[in-house]
Amino acid sequence: MRSLLALLLLAGLLVPASAAAQERPCGSQVTPVAGTQPVLAGSRPVLLVHGILSGRNHWGGSDLADLHRRLRGLPSVTLWTFDYSEVSDQWVTNDRIGPALARAVQCLAVASGKQVIVGAHSMGGLVTQYALGTVRDSVAGVFTVGTPFRGSLLLSVGQGLHGGAANLRPGDHLALRAGLALCKKFQKKPNSLCGTIDAVISQPVGRALTIDSAQIKALPPWPRDLPLLTVAGNTKYRWTLKLVLLPDPKIADFDMGDPFVSVSSATAEQRSDGRKVKECEPGGLLKVFTSTCSHSNLKGRIGVQNDIVEFVEKAARSSPPRIPATFRLPNEDTGTLTRAMRPWDAANACEPTDDRPSDSARLDMRGVVLPKGGDPLASQEHWQLATYRDDATAAKALAEIRAGESCTGQEGPAVDIPVGSGGFSRSKFSGAVAVGEPGDGLFRAATRIGNAVLLYARRPQNEPRPDLRTADPKAVAALTSVVKSMCEHGWSC
Amino acid sequence: MASARRRTMIIIFALVLATALGGLAGYLLTPERPATAEEFDAGGPPPPEAAETVRRLLSGDRAERDSALSPEVRELVGAAATLPPGTKLVLDADGWSGDASPYASATATVTLPGQAPRRVVFGFERADGLWRLLFEEEL
């Protein structure tokens, strides 16, 4: 009887813990947005990151229920929020902020087998920028709303800093100071923009958010190839003095941004299409701070939500599964990262300057040399994994490999390699090129899996015809392992 | 014939009523409705220097009036005339919002001669010991 009670007690303790683990598979800072959604495995995670002095409800609350419903309506999307509210008055380098987001993204990518789409509001975009320094490969795209990529002019002027405001017209400077003066009427409201400004203006995080601060400059560079949507808000401040200057009222318009973040700062990292600026009707300061283009209200606009849904849909569709940062190639500890010439190119007298279109599109190449510690140029065989930004580019690279490269002057026909012993079929490893004369050239076989090209190369020795059937079993086993592992991580195998 | 006209009149009346009610609902529900004075934080009494700013704003001497404006405001205003004599500008006794920073705002009532009083919020910045006007906004 006592044992039964003990078991019941144990079960009582375990069930909630297990349910919690299922609810929060990536730790206490990552929470699913309320509502039904598919299981994480195999889904496309969209992770919402809030801003300064905020919390997960700012992105994941009921006020954005319509956006959540629309995102969930996209195929296989699961919605999550990253919460750092307990330390949201700290700079992004805090272990519970930037590094924690990197861990969260990695976790979601591994658990889902898909790259994550990150949506950030305000400083959340800078948190994301920090995390991208280590988990770029786990991210399919980022959308930001009102992120101060270059800092906040309003905060800078509020701190008496004029360096960043050097390019401002005198009138713009006046408008920002007028905004700070109006804020005195709202600064006791903790959830208001003015309350936030008042709370952080004399804090280290407030100094970090000034224009072109050393802290912002120290962030990792934004990845140029990453699909990005940046949304900025702008309400023109229609400054007017008509009562105390009658009968000659004066009017002037100033671009105030949202007004915590200027348009140029919010879109500073946008290098291609994806820059969306929402303009509201000009008005007084009260309107500047409360319009639907203002910092806190911007993400609630229907047009912004349309942009976000369209972006997520496109990013989810165009981004094939790629190697998550946590992906480990078998025996990778024996490998070397190769970013220069391919060893076989050197062996075939190609120059680094030779035009190889697929190389310029290559994001990464990992070369693993067999046997352990061997020199790529001298080793008899090795395999390499190259990743590209999308399936089409990887397919182009594979076609180049198959066709041979013009710099070698050795056009080789694609041949099927009968590989059956390793667990992947002929169709999975269907192309090969023989380079050089049999017996003394290089022999390569390649296949594409998603946006990656896996290539096996060996230097035949006294073989009348290169044939993978005669390859070192260790190499075949390694290739098999890699292919299986990639398939398990969500490649379209 | 008369009944058809009556029916048409009823339909037109219903449409007008629906439009009016829709417009009213839209106005009341719109998120862009500007903030009102009721939403302001509670303020305190204006500092003594603010009385000097008010005095200068009401002054008939343009140079003195201009000294109550921040430099950029002065530039925007240019050679504007001074306020008509008899204008009253009264800062609310509990409408001053400011702290240690050089910025503050205050609610006030402005009454121009022959006109109804108007409620406004003024923004100021402190420079050279005086609160200088940055903006004016009617509530």
The verdict on a CB contact (< 8 Å) between A246 and B99 is no
Residue A184, chain B, CB below 8 Å: the answer is yes
Where b means 16+ CB within 10 Å and e means fewer, A209-218 reads: bbbebebbee
State the pLDDT confidence band at A30, using cuts at 50, 70 and 90. Answer: very high
The verdict on a CB contact (< 8 Å) between A241 and B77 is yes
Q: Is residue A354 part of a domain?
A: yes
- DSSP state for residue A210 in the 8-state scheme: B
Q: What's the pLDDT score for residue A355?
A: 58
Which of A185, A250, A300 is closest, CB to CB, to B41? A185
> Among residues A122, A147, A52, which one has the least CA distance to residue A90?
A52
Please calculate the CA angle A329-A335-A339 and round it to the nearest 5 degrees: 100
Q: Is residue A329 part of a domain?
A: no
Confidence check: pLDDT of A213 > 50: yes
Q: Is residue A184 part of a domain?
A: yes
Residue B89, chain A, CB below 8 Å: the answer is yes
Q: Does residue A390 share a domain with residue A300?
A: no
Residue A162, chain B, CB below 8 Å: the answer is no
Q: Is residue A224 part of a domain?
A: yes
Residue B34, chain A, CB below 8 Å: the answer is yes
Q: Which amino acid is at A55?
A: G
The verdict on a CB contact (< 8 Å) between B31 and A158 is no
Q: Does residue A384 share a domain with residue A290?
A: no
The mean pLDDT value of chain A amounts to 73
The verdict on a CB contact (< 8 Å) between B137 and A182 is yes
Q: Is residue A276 part of a domain?
A: yes
Confidence check: pLDDT of B36 > 90: no
Q: What's the pLDDT score for residue A428?
A: 33
Q: Does residue A262 share a domain with residue A133?
A: yes
Residue B83, chain A, CB below 8 Å: the answer is yes
Q: Does residue A293 share a domain with residue A248?
A: yes
Q: Is residue A109 part of a domain?
A: yes
Which of A21-25, A184-188, B28-32, B135-139 tops mean pLDDT? B135-139
Which of B122, B131, B135 should we substitute to test contact with A (largest number of A Cβ atoms within 10 Å)? B135
At CB < 8 A and 24+ separation, what contacts does B120-126 make?
A: B120/A243, B121/A182, B121/A185, B121/A286, B121/B37, B121/B40, B122/B91, B123/A178, B123/A181, B123/A182, B123/A285, B124/A181, B124/B50, B124/B53, B124/B98, B125/A177, B125/A181, B125/B70, B126/B49, B126/B102
Q: What's the pLDDT score for residue A439?
A: 38
Residues 245-264 of A with CB under 8 A from B: 245-248, 250, 252
Q: What's the pLDDT score for residue A430?
A: 33
Contacts of A237 (CB under 8 A, 6+ apart): A175, A178, A179, A253, A254, A255, A256, A259, A282, A283, A284, A285, A288
Domain B42-138 classified CATH 3.10.450.100?
yes
- The tens digit of pLDDT for each residue in A31-82 reads 998 877 778 878 899 999 999 877 777 776 777 888 888 998 888 899 999 9
Alpha carbons within 13 angstroms on the beta-carbon side of residue A451 total 23
Instruction: Indicate if ipTM > 0.85.
Output: no
Region B23-42: mean pLDDT is 50
Q: Does residue A88 share a domain with residue A195?
A: yes
Q: Does residue A344 share a domain with residue A302?
A: no
Comparing A5-19, A265-279, A362-376, B81-95, which segment has the lowest mean pLDDT? A5-19
Q: Is residue A330 part of a domain?
A: no
Q: Does residue A313 share a domain with residue A340?
A: no
The verdict on a CB contact (< 8 Å) between A181 and B81 is no
Q: Which residues of chain B make contact with A180, given a CB cutoff of 8 A? A: 101, 103
Q: What's the pLDDT score for residue A241?
A: 76
Residues 100-139 of A with CB under 8 A from B: none
Q: Does residue A115 share a domain with residue A174?
A: yes
As given in the structure block, the two tokens for residue A383 are 């395999």
Region A212-227: mean pLDDT is 90
Q: Does residue A192 share a domain with residue A163?
A: yes
Q: How far apart are CA B117 and CA B114, in angstroms?
A: 9
Count of Cβ atoms closer than 10 Å to residue A112 Cβ: 25
- The tens digit of pLDDT for each residue in A149-167 reads 999 988 888 888 765 555 6
| Domain limits for position A279 | 2-317
Q: What's the pLDDT score for residue A471?
A: 53
Q: What is the CATH number of the domain that holds A456?
A: 3.40.1000
Q: What's the pLDDT score for residue A445?
A: 62
Residue A470, chain B, CB below 8 Å: the answer is no
Q: Is residue A331 part of a domain?
A: no
Q: State the total domains in chain A.
A: 2
- The tens digit of pLDDT for each residue in A313-326 reads 998 886 554 444 33
Which of A52-66, A81-95, A315-329, A434-448 tops mean pLDDT? A81-95
Nearest C-alpha in A relative to B121: A182
Which of A6-15, A37-46, A370-379 tops mean pLDDT? A37-46
Q: How far apart are CA A174 and CA A178, in angstroms?
A: 6
State the pLDDT confidence band at A383, using cuts at 50, 70 and 90. Answer: low
Q: What is the CATH number of the domain that holds A10?
A: 3.40.50.1820
Q: Does residue A344 share a domain with residue A225?
A: no
- Answer with the residue of higher pLDDT: A110 or A333: A110
Q: Does residue A311 share a domain with residue A364?
A: no
Q: What's the pLDDT score for residue A117?
A: 96
The verdict on a CB contact (< 8 Å) between A284 and B72 is no
Which of A178, A188, A283 is closest, CB to CB, to B135? A178
Domain ranges of chain B: 1-33, 42-138
Question: From the CA of A275, how many Å to the nearest CA of chain B?
Answer: 24
Which of B34, B76, B118 is closest, CB to CB, to A290? B34
Residues 48-77 of B with CB under 8 A from A: 57, 70-73, 75-77
For chain B, the straight-line distance linking the first and the last C-alpha, in angstroms and rounded, comes to 52
Q: Does residue A348 share a domain with residue A203?
A: no
Asked which of A317, A352, A386 is the last residue of a domain, the reply is A317
Q: What's the pLDDT score for residue A419?
A: 33
CB pairs under 8 A between A and B: 126
Q: DSSP letters of A59-74? A: HHSGGGHHHHHHHHTS
State the pLDDT confidence band at B24, using cuts at 50, 70 and 90. Answer: very low
Region A449-457: mean pLDDT is 70
- The tens digit of pLDDT for each residue in A230-258 reads 999 999 998 887 766 656 677 888 888 99
pTM: 0.67
CA A71 to chain CA centroid, Å, is 18
The verdict on a CB contact (< 8 Å) between A243 and B138 is yes
Residue A493, classified by CB atoms within 10 Å of its CB into exposed (0-12), middle (13-18) or buried (19+), is middle
Confidence check: pLDDT of B37 > 70: no
Region B101-107: mean pLDDT is 92
In this structure, are residues A303 and A232 in contact, taking their beta carbons and an 8 Å threshold? no
State the pLDDT confidence band at A354, using cuts at 50, 70 and 90. Answer: low
